[in-house]
Structure 1
Amino acid sequence: MSIVAGFFVSKIQFDMSFRPLFADEDEMFIPTQNFEDIFGEASGAHIGVILESENILTVPYLQKLEQLSDQVVGLDHVTSVISLTHFDFPIWTPKGKEIRPLIPKSLLDKDPLDPYFVEHILSNPKVKQVILSEDGGKTLLLARLDIPLKDLKGRKIVIQNFKKTITDGIPLGTTTRFTGVSMVENAYADIVLKSLIRSTLLTSIGLVIALFLFFGRYSSIGVALAGVTIGSPITLAIMQIIGQNITIVNSMVPIMLLIIGVADAIHMEQSFIHYLKGKRSVPEAVHKMFGTMGLPCLMTTVTTAIGFLSLRMANIEAIRDFGLNVAIGVIIVYIMNIIFVPFLLIHLPSKQINFTKWFSDGLNHFLYFSSQLVISHPKKITYVFLTLIIYSIWMLPKLSMDQKFNEEVQSEHPIRFNQMLLEQEFTGFLGPEVSVKIINDNHLWDTDVMDNLSSFESALRNHPDILQVRSYLSYVPDGIPDSLVKIFLKDLRDDPILKYQIQEVITLDGKWASVIVRTKDMGTKKAKIFKDWIKEISTRELGPNFEVEMVGQWWLAQRGMMNILNDMLSSFVTACILILPIMALLLRNMRLFFISLLPNIFPMLAALAFMAIAGISVRIGTAMILAIALGIAIDDTIHFMIHLREQDSKSNDRNEIVKLTIAQTGKAILYTSVILVIGFISMLSNDLIAIQDMGIVASFTIIIALLADLFFVPAIYLIGKK
């Protein structure tokens, strides 16, 4: 089975593009899809490099830049290049249209450049902070690709060739900073893969040490890890079969299975040890363990799978796929545990090493202290938890929902620095495209239409977060007669260089235009206000004869993030609707069921309150916390409540019931909680801040769930037990 799974795993595809992170529901996606079918993907059309040197505006440097630009143009899949030496723009003369270069070739034969010409370039609005920084010390070289933005694998080869060409051809003393959407995606792919390997290694080491300390037997390591070791490749193989890729979010599937899959094995092994200490033979202890743990482990698998499956309610493809894949994996690992854990317990040696006895004794003392504390002060403990619940609810309005493209890695990371530099010195690559359609008989080259659109663009440029606005009006030169604009624009579509730029801003029939807006990295919080503002000024400046809509990849990303809070809540509600009835049926005791409600909900509320206090915003990663935490945290509660029910049916001594339940299940709950925390804490080694935050919040939630199981549940039980 493992060999067959390995065959499929070897064929699994990697998709580290940002596209799976965008909203893809029909009402969100179709307008952008229709728009990009006509105008292309302006936001991701180019890859680029910022060249930094004191000598940019010198003849020798420009000569070298011209050669370098020519070499880039010659690369496969590069259709055109924009640089200081490859920057053409149209003008209108008495003789008609002319296409002129920014720097005539004749000037590159004269050294030095005329100071007046240098000043003209520095002040030219067509290039200032577009491809040349304000101080003239940095310039931008852009290469337009004919490979779709979503095809990161195809673009990766071009990126490698582009980087090599630039590195080999730049003048001495030049600092290079590669930039662009695909550059960032490519770098993120490397980060994700390296972080995955690092997190898996750290988690595995942590698990091995923890399991050895818990059980004091080398065989316990093999028993606990057997199911997940066999189940993970099978899960990845199924992902490949059903057409799933390894995305930025899906890359966490193996680590999730590793930390979740071990939990059931720990409960099974702890039950085995309990019966083994009761003077039973190994086969008898395994048989008793299987009878005792079969149903609880099945139910915890079901609830965990439901928790992850509830993520299918999300609007973002990557989150939906992640939920499905982990749910499948959890079920497979459960099956592997049921098959292999009993087998290994029988056939592997079970002798304990005395070296770890101190650790086990320490845990026993802690559990004894916990039970005594609960028995002595049930009301006080309940009041403390109820106060924390009220405080958590009070903190919910302070929860932030925001995600910025350039802030998912540390500030000193080259990726972030390069994008910030692009934004500060040039126009960046973030921002929407604004679709402008004429819905009457006019055309975009009509005088009154151009006047209206010019007023609209002027209003856009006054916004403090907008860096650049570009449309077909950017190519209409001063002095051209209004009657010739139509012919002029159509002629530009035949120009070998400018045709690409014209095709992405106006259609041939003159009825549909794209206004390309480049903004600062404003984040999701501002994006909704920004969209409403654009709608307002379009109504004011353009009137009722225009259909205006915000579209583009940037907007899809923002729309997905705007809906992520609703996604989180709907996933949580779905998980509750499906999981809580299972709890009720499993316990078959409504009093115990109601006792379990608050301790199960409290960790979710505490997680959100912690995020609000710590300043961790709801975004990719943290948005999945509620459903995941409910699915995972309820597992230990199920084990605890089942044992509590059994003891409750046997005795009326409520103190003894609590003491025995904590003694029998407390150690396994402690073990599994530590394992989960180790796994989630390992996410701190990830270079992506969203994944780090997810690890922090999930670890906090697991700790709170542990405290709720050991203290809150028995305290409520003691108060409610007559």
Structure 2
Amino acid sequence: MIATLSEWVTRHAGWVVAGVVALTALAAASLVDWPERRLAIDIDPAIGTLLPAGGEAQAYLKRVERIFGQSESVVVALYPEDVFAAATLTSLAALDRDLAALPYVQSVTSLASAPLMRADGDTLDLGAASAGEGEALAQAARANPLIAGTLLGAEGRATALVVALAADYETDPGGQAAMAGIRAAVDAAFADTAGVRVTGPPAIKAATVEALMRELTRLVPGILVLVALFLLVAFRSARGVLLPMATIGIALVWVLAVMSLTGRSLNLITAIVPPVVITVGLAYTLHLLSAYYRVRRAADPAAAAVADVGMPLLLTGATTGSGFLALMLSPLAPIREFAWLSALGIGFSVLLSLTFLPAMLRLFACHNIGAPPGARLVRFGSSWLAAFNVRHRRRILAAGGVLMLVALVGASGIRVGTDYVNGFGESTPVRQDFNRISGDFGGATPLSVVLTAPAQGSFARPDLLAALDELQRWLAEQPEIGSVTSLVDYVRTLNRALNEGDAAAYAIPDNATAVKQLLLFGGGDTLESLADTGLRHTQLKVRANVSDSAAIGALVDRIRDRLATLPEPLSGRVTGTPVLLGNVVDDIASGQIVTIGAALLVVFLLLSALFTSFSTGALALLPNLLPVLLYFGALGFSGVTLNPTTSLIACIVLGIAVDDTLYYLARFNNDARRFASESRATVSALRAVLRPVTYTSLALIAGFLMLTTSGLQNQVQFGALAAFTIAVAWLTDVTFTPALASGVKIVTLWDVLRLDLGRAPQDSIPLFADLKLRQARIFALLSEIQQSPAGERVIAEGDEAGDIFVVIDGELRVWVEREDQQVELQRLRRGAVLGEVGHFARRRTANVDAVTDVRLLRFDSDDLEQLRRRYPRTAALVFRNLNRIQAQRLAEATRRIA
């Protein structure tokens, strides 16, 4: 198949290139929104996209928001010289009106619009204070728990506006401009007269959009430039740079076109797809180019290169893609999208490396490319490494085992969590604004604690309000919580206002009727955000001063334990986007076992199929398990959390690392058969793969390290850890893998498929009776195929014996010398077994010469033992057949004697 493909591609090189160029032009056209003259791929920073769709917790949050209003809002903090100055309050009132008039703004709450709850005779004034009230407003605001700490902060030196956006601002195309409109209005009103800080989930999402766009426009070209420089140093040829770059670029355009055509957006997870496609795709082009250099003197080097590495490229693409596709088991839609998009990019890269790249090599007549630099260094390094690996085989394997144990110890300390605010750099405005507002206004991470009673009007009962008050006090004592407001604050403030500001009246009335009357007089937007109209549900609005999901998760666990102690008939639940994100992060942690297990299983099955043995498949998997374990160990020792981004690395690295293992084992297998020496094969195999394996590893490391220059911490962590793990995988593949393989005979699937044992060996060769063709070929590959020309002596009488032979093709003559005369005993043809008597007697009893050119299958007791261990069912049939052959020989000898 591969040979046919290579011939077809090079024979139709012009058509292949034309077809790829045409497809790429169509793909590029789909990336442009022509009416809008912009890229057709959107950036979706919404943290909500990380939540599994249709979950019960998410449905509950939506019900809560329908009852009490949106839980997320923009917080604008102002730092004027005097918060309560008339000019400040006038500008604040104007800004309040301007913001309320903006599209997607649902409501605005500020000192200029918040109800002060003052009594005016027998009526309750819920209006805001006027600009001229200055000191009266200051006193009223500081005494109002619904204002102090939320709209008034930093000991009265700062004020805030809370801007609630409509629920559809994230999904509506025009909603992305909502934050820009808010910032423009704020800057126009206060930029010259007060310090301005802006935070809240919408502000963080808008900053994420800007950061993702900035990083993509910087990182992708940066990685491409880095790849070009790497190729230039590695190959010192313009064609060695331009052709792989074109191949990678086309694969990337195709993947982005698929994203555009399927309506996918770039988010915090899928934004990593382009760098991954570039770096991983480079590895396939490097393997093809390295093969081209090896066979550049052939009549058709492009076709020869495809024939040389085509099957390994297909298999490594399958194993790498399997590692990515294992992430499809993740509960997060963005991770699933990342999985199939990356796997698709790998498929495109393999396809283009086997078609477009060799076609371009053929068209550009790259026959005169010289040998790549460092050939002498590679020969010396591979020889030294091979000798080191063979000499210290046991120590290397033992060291690998020790490292695995150390990694397991480190992995036990892995922390799970993510922080979308501190994911920005310390000097970025979004992080500084969040931290400043969080400190000045009692926190900026919104949580909602919802209490429910079975009957309407329940939260007018003083005893239940007292339980609510007790819960609120407990919440306020938690170190992660900066402020809490509840229905109790509203009722007490109303009661004090109706009693003309009497401090003693700042209390819960002693009967439900009085509470209901208060709430009847004091209804409004603030009350609707704290209780439903039937007083059956109430909400405590919590602001936490932490943003890390691990810290929030610990707080939520304590709140849940506290809610379990509520008196009957109350029940409670904590919700909010941060809570849902914490649940998702926990799901990711538990899902690591599933995704890694699935990836390992798929890779193991592929390796077992490739090497035709489950035991060899497990053996080949071991060098790839080591870097994955070391990654988890590094995660635990470094303190980096397991989060939605770092959870991708293990499956990715497993898929990538197995590539180099496959290349080495395949080459080692061929050379071990060719040289009949594992030590020589270790040297030759390392010499053949050291350059491409090192080049691809360096390219991957450099590409991933480029991500460490990102302004987003999740990309920095991903890049650093992926680069570290790839480096470990390279070191494993040039030391641990050769040491492991040097004592093992390996049979690969393509060996089985191409081995020629003649027609129907299971029928024409008695030793293979009742075996399937595949089993016969496996036994032959574990043994050795020996070719002898006509006239050559195969066995000499009197020599030490150890091997048994089976005639595959040709004719042999068995004879002994008696009284200076050759006495012919028999002629042996296809299927005959010889040497078994000498094998057991340890001494040859006759001479055997090749009458014609012959092919023989030669095996000894070690080969039979290895067959028994790895393929026990096949071994059982071979042993049975060998016993039958010996029994028949004994019977014939007995008849001759008789």
TM-score (norm 2): 0.74
- Report the Cα offset of residue 142 of structure 1: 2.5
Q: Say whether 1:520 aligns with 2:520.
A: no
Structure 1 or 2: more helix by fraction: 1
Q: Whole-Å Cα distance in 1 between the matches of residues 90 and 142 of structure 2? A: 18
Partner of 1:272: 292
**Distance change >3 Å, CA 600–CA 526, structure 1 → 2:** same
Alignment of 1:355-504 (within 5 A): 358-440=373-455, 443-476=458-491, 477-478=494-495, 482-486=512-516, 489=519, 498-499=524-525, 501-504=526-529
Q: Please point out which of 32, 53, 69 is paired with 1:40.
A: 69
Q: Whole-Å Cα distance in 2 between the matches of residues 367 and 152 of structure 1? A: 59
Q: Whole-Å Cα distance in 1 between the matches of residues 191 and 547 of structure 2? A: 35
Partner of 1:629: 653
Partner of 1:712: 736
- Report the Cα offset of residue 335 of structure 1: 2.0
Other structure's SS at 1:48 match:
strand
- Report the Cα offset of residue 217 of structure 1: 2.0
Partner of 1:67: 94
Q: Whole-Å Cα distance in 2 between the matches of residues 592 and 212 of structure 1? A: 38
Q: Please point out which of 593, 598, 601 is paired with 1:577.
A: 601
Q: Which moved more, 1:595-604 or 1:57-66?
A: 57-66
Check conservation: 2:200, 2:445, Cα contact below 8 A. Answer: no
Q: Deviations over 1:155-195 (max 9, x none)?
A: 33222222122212217442212222111110111111111
- Report the Cα offset of residue 306 of structure 1: 1.4
The amino acid of 2:704's aligned partner reads F
- Report the Cα offset of residue 267 of structure 1: 0.9
Higher-Rg member (1/2): 2
The amino acid of 1:483's aligned partner reads T
> How many residue pairs end up in the alignment?
702
Q: Whole-Å Cα distance in 2 between the matches of residues 91 and 352 of structure 1? A: 92
Partner of 1:26: 55
Q: Deviations over 1:346-382 (max 9, x none)?
A: 112426677x954444344333332232233222222
Other structure's SS at 1:88 match:
coil
Check conservation: 2:50, 2:334, Cα contact below 8 A. Answer: yes
Q: Say whether 1:212 aligns with 2:228.
A: no
Q: Say whether 1:566 aligns with 2:590.
A: yes
Q: Deviations over 1:275-305 (max 9, x none)?
A: 22xx312x2x222322232221111111111
**Distance change >3 Å, CA 142–CA 268, structure 1 → 2:** same
Partner of 1:129: 149
- Report the Cα offset of residue 213 of structure 1: 2.0
Q: Say whether 1:17 aligns with 2:43.
A: no
Partner of 1:110: none
Other structure's SS at 1:148 match:
helix
- Report the Cα offset of residue 574 of structure 1: 0.8
Q: Please point out which of 157, 172, 182 is paired with 2:202.
A: 182
Partner of 2:532: 507
Check conservation: 1:606, 1:701, Cα contact below 8 A. Answer: yes
Alignment of 1:286-301 (within 5 A): 286-301=302-317
TM-score (norm 1): 0.91
Q: Whole-Å Cα distance in 2 between the matches of residues 571 and 491 of structure 1? A: 58
The amino acid of 1:517's aligned partner reads V
- Report the Cα offset of residue 578 of structure 1: 1.2
The amino acid of 1:327's aligned partner reads A
Give ranges in structure 1 of 5+ residues lacking alignment.
108-112
**Distance change >3 Å, CA 381–CA 536, structure 1 → 2:** closer
Q: Please point out which of 554, 558, 573 is paired with 1:549.
A: 573
Check conservation: 1:90, 1:99, Cα contact below 8 A. Answer: yes
The amino acid of 1:12's aligned partner reads I
Q: Whole-Å Cα distance in 2 between the matches of residues 298 and 504 of structure 1? A: 59
Partner of 1:655: 679
Partner of 2:265: 245
- Report the Cα offset of residue 526 of structure 1: 3.2
Q: Whole-Å Cα distance in 1 between the matches of residues 630 and 313 of structure 2? A: 26
Q: Please point out which of 559, 563, 574 is paired with 1:534.
A: 559
Q: Say whether 1:52 aligns with 2:72.
A: no
Q: Which moved more, 1:707-716 or 1:588-597?
A: 588-597
Q: Whole-Å Cα distance in 2 between the matches of residues 297 and 194 of structure 1? A: 34
The amino acid of 1:104's aligned partner reads S
The amino acid of 2:632's aligned partner reads L
- Report the Cα offset of residue 590 of structure 1: 5.1
Q: Deviations over 1:451-485 (max 9, x none)?
A: 22222222222222111222333332225763154
Other structure's SS at 1:143 match:
strand
Q: Whole-Å Cα distance in 1 between the matches of residues 94 and 549 of structure 2? A: 41
Q: Whole-Å Cα distance in 2 between the matches of residues 662 and 266 of structure 1? A: 16
**Distance change >3 Å, CA 439–CA 122, structure 1 → 2:** closer
The amino acid of 1:478's aligned partner reads N
Alignment of 1:228-377 (within 5 A): 228-276=248-296, 279-281=297-299, 283=300, 285-350=301-366, 358-377=373-392
Other structure's SS at 1:127 match:
coil
TM-align CA RMSD: 2.5
- Report the Cα offset of residue 581 of structure 1: 0.6
Q: Whole-Å Cα distance in 1 between the matches of residues 290 and 613 of structure 2? A: 26
Check conservation: 1:216, 1:352, Cα contact below 8 A. Answer: no
Partner of 2:783: none
- Report the Cα offset of residue 441 of structure 1: 6.3
- Report the Cα offset of residue 117 of structure 1: 6.0
Partner of 2:820: none
Check conservation: 1:300, 1:638, Cα contact below 8 A. Answer: yes
Other structure's SS at 2:46 match:
coil
**Distance change >3 Å, CA 360–CA 414, structure 1 → 2:** farther
Q: Deviations over 1:541-582 (max 9, x none)?
A: x32423322222111111111222112221111111111110
- Report the Cα offset of residue 99 of structure 1: 0.6
Q: Percent identity?
A: 19
Give ranges in structure 2 of 5+ residues lacking alignment.
1-22, 33-39, 499-508, 746-861, 863-898
Check conservation: 1:427, 1:468, Cα contact below 8 A. Answer: yes
Q: Deviations over 1:51-97 (max 9, x none)?
A: 12323232233233233323323333334322222221445676244
Q: Which moved more, 1:463-472 or 1:205-214?
A: 463-472
The amino acid of 1:402's aligned partner reads G
Partner of 2:726: 702
**Distance change >3 Å, CA 304–CA 34, structure 1 → 2:** farther
